[in-house]
Amino acid sequence: MTPKQVLKLVKDQGIEFIDCRFMDFPGLWQHNTYPAGATNQADLDLRKAAERYAKLCDVGVQAGVTPMVEVWGFSKCLNKLADSMFVALESGHPKACLLPDIYHLHKGGSAFASLDLLAAGCVQVFHMNDYPADPPREKIVDADRVYPGDGVAPITDTLRGLLRNHSSAVLSLELFNKTYWAQDALEVAKTGLAKMKAAVGKALV
């Protein structure tokens, strides 16, 4: 089934959630559930979202998982770091945390310097990637992501900010570049890991 067919199915049958299961590179099963159509809701009530997120965190505690508020730059809601921070803060839950992404911060127009306001435990996972100078922010898409260090993102300053806040966040490579998809998966993984290590090394200087 193609992505277009999935979207049509969601629309035709009024599907509210999409359940995804996959295996990551270390060989661990991952289970993600996405609210269908939520990215098109421009009038999302952030306080109600915070209430629902708090309840979701309660479920997470029982299940032994940690739900994260992710910044989605392309979305009509929660596309700004500030909005995602509000939901996490307003939830008042001790397990509340954020999932930032280099590309999404840029796409949504968030200030990277704002990450300095986050406490160490607020970010447990950070999606790593980079983006080119062209196309411009308004037209850039997921497929334009490149390896960390191959674009113009302020990765060094961003990592240094995390280090200043004593963050122990896991850096997770996230790319949707079709050029990489056509290459050997193991080689892409090795290259991505090497690029991330180089980026961290540069930030430590």
**Mind listing the pLDDT tens digit for each residue in 69-117?**
999 999 888 999 999 999 999 999 999 999 999 999 999 999 999 999 9
Q: Is residue 37 part of a domain?
A: no
Q: Is residue 156 part of a domain?
A: yes
Structural domain range at position 103: 46-204
pTM: 0.84
Average pLDDT of the residues in 183-195: 95
Q: Is residue 69 part of a domain?
A: yes
- Counting the structural domains of the chain, the total is 1
CATH number at residue 196: 3.20.20.150
Q: Is residue 20 part of a domain?
A: no
Q: Is residue 4 part of a domain?
A: no
**Mind listing the pLDDT tens digit for each residue in 31-40?**
666 666 667 7
Q: What is the DSSP string of the chain?
A: --HHHHHHHHHHHT--EEEEEEE-TTS-EEEEEEETTGGG-TT--HHHHHHHHHHHHHHHHHHT----EE--TTSSSS-SHHHHHHHHHHH--TT--EE-BHHHHHHTT--GGGGGGS-GGGBSEEEE-B--S-S-TTT--GGG-B-TTSS---HHHHHHHHHHTT--PEEEE----HHHHTS-HHHHHHHHHHHHHHHHHHHH-
**Mind listing the pLDDT tens digit for each residue in 122-150?**
999 999 999 999 999 999 999 999 999 99
Dihedral, CA atoms, 107, 123, 166, 147, nearest 10 degrees?
-40
> Mean pLDDT, the chain, as a whole number?
89
Q: Is residue 89 part of a domain?
A: yes
Q: Is residue 52 part of a domain?
A: yes
Q: Is residue 22 part of a domain?
A: no
